[in-house]
Structure 1
Amino acid sequence: MSHKVKKIIRLDRNEVPFEVPKKFKTELIEIINGMEMNRYPEDYSESLREKIGRLYGLSADNVIVGNGSDQVITFLFDFLRNTRIVTSTPTFSMYRFFAKAKGIDFTEIPMTRLFQPDVDRMLDMADSSYVVCSPNNPTGDTAKKDTVKRLLETGRTVIVDEAYGEFAGRSYTDLVRDYDNLIVLRTFSKAFGLAGLRVGYALSSSDTMGRILDTIPPFILSTISHAAASLMLDYRQEIMKNVEYIIHERERIYREISHFSFPSKANFILVNLDCFQFLKDNGIIVRKLENPLSRMVRVTVGLKSENDAVMDAMKTFLDDFYQKN
């Protein structure tokens, strides 16, 4: 006797719900068929760095790449290991993970009630470098320009993590030319849909990138990851149409559940309901959060049908709660 297995809806990893374009896959397979797999990749992915740089009006000297932004974070933290690294909380948990693994002095300062970095307290930390996640994971807020500029004006290194930048409509990449102490972190894993191939990058002054590059071994990116990221940049216009879809769905979701969620500029929404287990029991996986957000969940924006399912489930959760109380 066979049992029909209910399809699980995964909205916990902030992945885009779209596969890469079919034409992209076809072209990539052709490129792979022409590769000499017995040969090492480019030493430092020079041609990819040049192509990324052109996207921002910069050069290859302003770019480093790595296996996902996680690896790029490790490069940056190695570069900053002799300073204290200061960030806000709640934010991306891997900052703490990498700092602890490398024995780096790491301080987390609680955000304001509006989920903004407490810049006054951050500035009080002497001999520090700063990490600002914008849009912030898991709250979805973007850092105000005045906040980032106040940190930059100290002359200390400021990392702005824009993993979700394509969904935000605001970026600090235009300040790279003006501030040698600014490093902007980006990725191909989110909007570009290459999470499985792990390609991230950072932008900064040529002097800063040169000093970081001196600490990185060659052959970081595989030939396939390099080729896929480079080719995907040719599909940017199509990718941005997907981004528009996600933004539209994000705003639609927020309008429906605004009384128990927070506005977002990313591809996810922070929901003020302790409904993780209820959603899981109903075949929907979302992200369970840690303190101080342990009674909330983070929900990735998916396809319309997936978003409808999670909203319906949340409303049922609330109905059940009110009936019991």
Structure 2
Amino acid sequence: MNQYIDIDKEYQIRLNSNESYIDMDNNIMMEIKSNLSTIELHRYPENNMLEIRNLYAQYAGTQSENIIVGNGSDEVIQLVISNYISCGKKVLTLDPDFTMYDFYTDLFGGNVVKYKLGENIVFNLDEFIKLGKKENIDLIIFSNPNNPTGLSLSNNDIIKLLKIFPNIPILVDEAYYEFNGESMISHINEYKNLIVTRTLSKAWGLAALRVGFLISNKNILEKLMKKKIPYTVNSYSQTMALTVLKYPDRVIENSKVIIDNREKLLLQLKSIEKDASMEIRFYPSKGNFIFGRTSHKYALLSGLNEKGILIRNFSDDTFRITVGSQLENRKLLNVLREIFIYQVVEEYAK
């Protein structure tokens, strides 16, 4: 089955990319527009990006010299994989997880080793360690909270991994940190194999800018910077990021609102799961999304598609729904009730 039934359709509600539904504050937007007018188009972008690093360091509780700024966290993730992975080397990650880990590993000739979370979305640290040792892995990468399941690994488990594999770089992708609140950034100088990535695309609501961060210790940063391409973050993105980063309270406040909506949405989804006449399951989440599973994919995707609602479909029996606004969530829930509780059409069971 294709990821989307009708990819060219104009969807009224897009709950497929884990974007923030909260638009930019009007006052901040006016400040952005004013600052954009100062850009000199005949000049290259700032390459050092010290101001951005300083502001993000204050927010993240670290130092500017521990930060690399990239064109989205995708760029800095690729930078890590390109440094540690070559033909025949192995990356250990979770299954499922962010698909770009597989893409970049394959790009540089490496092999992906996957630890399956299973139907109940359970992470067993001992089994993960056993797999890593058995496969003699060269790099460990996982998103935390996990995308797409919403599972969150504890800092204690991650610290155990860092100690068990002291010579293996471990990248913790904290793209959804703001919806969870637990971070490994405070440990970057304590564990010399720890790398953390962050982004402005999710909680900060700046997906259009493509601004991401890598946070690690001096030795790792020196190694990575030797392969980093210059001028990858354009002046418009830098200017807008600089403006928005001056208002961290905004993202903290917005994240609380999204978390509250997530929990309310999950409660209603679990109610649908309980009353459904066709099998469907939803999982708790620490992201701005909720992971689900159903053997009635055709019913789900057809019903949502008909109502102009787009979610993220995966190739197996799973899917992911981004937490939307209260209005978007209500419309989603009404359609799901129609599909799985009130109106069961025979062809949906295909």
Q: Same fold (TM over 0.5)?
A: yes
Equivalent position SS for 2:18: coil
Q: Which amino acid aligns with 1:52?
A: Y
Which range moved further: 296-305 or 117-126? 117-126
Match of 1:140 among 150, 153, 156: 150
Match of 2:74 among 52, 61, 70: 70
1:18-37 alignment, distance < 5 Å:
18-37=22-41
Match of 1:178 among 183, 190, 193: 190
Equivalent residue, structure 2, for 1:108: 114
Identity of aligned residues (%): 29
Q: CA deviation at 1:56?
A: 2.9
What is the rounded CA distance, in whole Å, between the counterparts of 1:223 and 1:22 in structure 2?
21
Q: CA deviation at 1:127?
A: 4.1
Task: Indicate if the aligned counterparts of 1:261 and 1:272 stay in contact, CA closer than 8 A.
Answer: yes
Task: Indicate if the aligned counterparts of 1:115 and 1:139 stay in contact, CA closer than 8 A.
Answer: no
Q: CA deviation at 1:7?
A: 6.5
Match of 1:271 among 260, 269, 292: 292
Q: CA deviation at 1:125?
A: 2.7
What is the rounded CA distance, in whole Å, between the counterparts of 1:88 and 1:78 in structure 2?
19
Question: Where in structure 1 are there 5+ consecutive unaligned residues?
Answer: none
Q: Which amino acid aligns with 1:49?
A: R
Equivalent position SS for 2:68: strand
Equivalent residue, structure 1, for 2:204: 192
1:199-278 alignment, distance < 5 Å:
199-258=211-270, 259=273, 260-273=281-294, 274=297, 275-278=300-303
Q: CA deviation at 1:85?
A: 1.2
Question: Where in structure 2 are there 5+ consecutive unaligned residues?
Answer: 1-8, 274-280
Task: Indicate if the aligned counterparts of 2:69 and 2:211 stay in contact, CA closer than 8 A.
Answer: yes
Q: Which amino acid aligns with 2:286?
A: K
Question: Structure 1 residues 72 and 278, CA, compared in 2 at 3 Å: closer, same or farther?
Answer: same
What is the rounded CA distance, in whole Å, between the counterparts of 1:215 and 1:35 in structure 2?
28
Equivalent position SS for 2:246: helix
Equivalent residue, structure 1, for 2:314: 289
Q: Which amino acid aligns with 1:221?
A: V
Match of 2:160 among 150, 167, 180: 150
Matched, 1:8 2:12: yes
What is the rounded CA distance, in whole Å, between the counterparts of 1:228 and 1:221 in structure 2?
11
What is the rounded CA distance, in whole Å, between the counterparts of 1:143 and 1:52 in structure 2?
24
Normalised by the length of structure 1, the TM-score is 0.92
What is the rounded CA distance, in whole Å, between the counterparts of 1:102 and 1:22 in structure 2?
43
Across the aligned residues of Structure 1 and Structure 2, the Cα RMSD in angstroms comes to: 2.0
Normalised by the length of structure 2, the TM-score is 0.85
Number of aligned residue pairs: give it. 318
Task: Indicate if the aligned counterparts of 1:132 and 1:143 stay in contact, CA closer than 8 A.
Answer: no
- Summarize deviations over 1:215-237 as a string: whole Å, max 9, x none: 11221211111121122111211
